[in-house]
Chains A and B, each alone.
Chain A
Amino acid sequence: MAISPVAETEYKGSAQPEQGQQPTLSVRDLVVEIPTRRGVLRPVDRVSYDLAPGEILGVVGESGAGKSMTGNAVIGLLDRPAHIAGGEILLNGKRIDNLSRRDMRKIRGKEIGMVFQDPLTSLNPLIPIGDQLAETIETHLNVSRTEARKRALASLEEVGIPAAAERLDSYPHEFSGGMRQRVVIALALCAEPSLVIADEPTTALDVSVQAQIIALLKRLCREHGTSVILVTHDMGVIAEAADRVAVMYAGKLVEIGPVRDVLTHPNHPYTDGLVGSMPAHSHGQARLRQIPGAMPRLNALPEGCAFHPRCPKAQEKCRHAPEPELMNGAACWFPVGEDA
């Protein structure tokens, strides 16, 4: 499918905090495909969004909705046989989806940082954290070993590791989970990237630590002007940290808009369901609302709108008409707000 002019216009209207500025990241009709013996799967299907400098975009959706896959495509870390099959990714105006492996490697870590879900497994257990930081700094910035160590120390201090100088030579197992995630964030940010992809950065952490990590991420990105793609399935984290939110379902972007608007007035019935299932939004009801059923598998997508079998408002058009385009913030024939 060609780039539709609709996609161009609707972002301007919906959510561009600082208009006229070049977006840090621009994803245009991104398609990721996985060839399998039983046909081609599309875990990411024509996803488009822009990310302004310093903006935090939350990406939510159920497991398998394509949230992480989009992030992996942006940083060029799709596991084979998954690959980008269409669309464009522009970082600060430059196309990066068609770069060679070598050039892409230079961008990873330097221009795009990444934070993974589980801090217990994302650090190499055999290498002191100071060395892991220093090697990243040395790889991307043309500095000496001593200078790299100095900067490693500075970045550890910045993420709030107590007595950082003494802990430079500590191994990952000597830190708690929350502290390790701080180290991971320091690693993602140490070369001053303009974009950080945080893939469920708090899911594996204690609830008491989650808020600290989110606050840290938010503060660092504000101070450095770093944009963030915050992938999560926790609406609470989105409400806390993100400027805008993108909702994904079965590989498609079904709704995007400023967090406040989306949370208070969701347009897409799926978003409505997600918001309704948050404890804070259940208004003291005994039972939380839930969305019936489960997301369809990618090899068995229903005809029409992929959400229609679970949608409380599904009508004949939803079942048979081609899936709706993302318009006015939601990809739905009958957005929630309109019929009321």
Chain B
Amino acid sequence: MLAYIIRRVFQSVIVLLVVGLVAFSMFRFVGDPVDNMLGQERTQADIERLRTQLGLDQPFPVQYFRFLKGAAEGNFGVSYRQGRPVATIIAERAPATLELAFVSGVLAITMGIALGVFTAIRRRGAAANIIMTLSLVGVSLPTFLIGILLIYVFAVELGVLPSFGRGETVRVGEFWTTGFLTTSGLQALILPAITLGLYQMTLIMRLVRSEMLEVLRADYIRFARARGLTERAVNFRHALRNTLVPVITVTGLQLGAIIAFAIITETVFQWPGVGLLFINAIQFVDIPVMAAYLMLISVLFVTINLIVDLLYYAIDPRLRIDGRTA
């Protein structure tokens, strides 16, 4: 087991290195940061000097290597735009994104599984059919449109919820600011969380439903019924658990996607998280911020994947014996 984890961590490091390499090879196409950094009265000499100072005159593998060297020492460089260390900027912004992602993740998983089980058990019922039809909307509407629709209905027409920002936040500890402790903070969370989680929720729901329908046909479910177990025990103890392995795979990847695609939701709702930071960084060609953000997202994906693989072992005892080669 330990050997497996070590091997996976090693693989993860390689993945991270490749992601970084690809990222750095792309930065030169985003634009020239020097244009934005110097004022109108710049001279060619100024440009050249700044370029050398930032190391932008070097080929990208060298820039990448410098970035890695810094990152290994915990130094992600200084933002071109804000002139402050990137690590600090991201640490300031991360709580907003993580809280948003957490709420929409919980929403997507709980609602997704609950509705999936419901529509599978009552698959002929009217309610289940209505939910299935509505879920098509959730799968097919793009995130930003859902966000704008929600803003229109709840912020503009009904005026019950805020349309942008994070509301009041409370500082907890040295790095963390939370919106969970104030009413306005919680209100501000509702619309973005729904926007971000809706797609994942419908996806999880449809997956749970189809897996559940499959499992309900299995012999051991029939046998569980023949033993006179209650419907609840059959559905939840026996059927649901057997649907979880594929569900966890997809859900895990979707959690990564929630954080990664928070960019769109954060833009629509002007949510002060790392996604919005990244969008602004692209506009300004703020290479250190972009690089750090991309690395952060990759670390996240890789970690979630590892957790998902370990969860398989917890759920399915069959893997514990013959899964060693996995």
Interface residues of A (CB under 8 A from B): 75, 77, 105-110, 113-114, 116, 118, 121-127, 135-136, 139-140, 171, 173-174, 184, 187-188, 191
Contacts and interface: CB of A to CB of B under 8 A. Distances in A.
A75 B225 CA distance: 10
Question: What is the size category of the interface that chain B forms with chain A?
Answer: 20 to 34
B220 interface: yes
A184 B227 CA distance: 10
21 contacts: A77-B222, A105-B225, A105-B228, A107-B228, A108-B227, A114-B226, A116-B222, A121-B220, A123-B223, A125-B242, A125-B316, A126-B317, A127-B237, A136-B228, A136-B229, A139-B227, A139-B228, A139-B229, A171-B318, A173-B321, A188-B227
Given A121-B220, A124-B220, A171 B317 contact: yes
Best-surrounded residue of B223, B224, B228, B229 (most CB of chain A within 10 A): B228
B188 to A, nearest CB: 41
B230 interface: yes
Contact of B237 (A110, A113, A116, A135): A135
Contacts of B81: none
Among B219, B220, B317, residue most surrounded by chain A Cβ atoms (within 10 Å): B220
Interface of B: 218-220, 222-231, 233, 237-238, 241-242, 315-318, 321
Given A105-B225, A121-B219, A187-B227, 19 more contacts: A77-B222, A105-B231, A107-B228, A109-B228, A109-B229, A110-B228, A125-B317, A126-B241, A127-B241, A135-B237, A136-B229, A139-B228, A139-B233, A140-B228, A171-B317, A171-B318, A173-B317, A174-B321, A184-B223
Most chain A CB inside 10 Å of its own CB: which residue of B233, B238, B317? B317
Contact of B220 (A75, A114, A123): A123
B228 A106 contact: yes
B219 A77 contact: no
B228 A124 contact: no
Contacts of A122: 219-220, 222-223
B242 A126 contact: yes
A108 B317 contact: no
Given A121-B219, A126-B316, A77 B238 contact: no
Contacts, number: 80
A279 B169 CA distance: 84
Contacts of B317: 125-126, 171, 173
Q: Which 8 A-B pairs have the closest CB atoms?
A: A109-B228, A108-B228, A121-B219, A114-B226, A109-B227, A122-B223, A171-B317, A124-B220
Contacts of B230: 105, 139
Q: Which of A75, A122, A187, A188 has the most CB of B within 10 A?
A: A122
Contact of B223 (A114, A139, A174, A191): A114
Nearest to B224: A124
Contacts of A77: 222, 225-226
A173 B318 contact: yes
Given A171-B318, A173-B321, A124 B242 contact: yes
A109 B229 CA distance: 8
A140 B226 CA distance: 12
A303 B220 CA distance: 40
A189 B82 CA distance: 74
Given A77-B222, A116-B219, A116-B222, A125 B227 contact: no
B233 A135 contact: yes
B226 A109 contact: yes
Nearest to B217: A79
Nearest to A197: B226
B323 to A, nearest CB: 12
Nearest to B124: A80
A118 B219 contact: yes
Contacts of B238: 124, 127
A136 B234 CA distance: 11
Contacts of A140: 228
Contacts of B241: 126-127
Contacts of A126: 241-242, 315-317
Contacts of B229: 105, 109, 135-136, 139
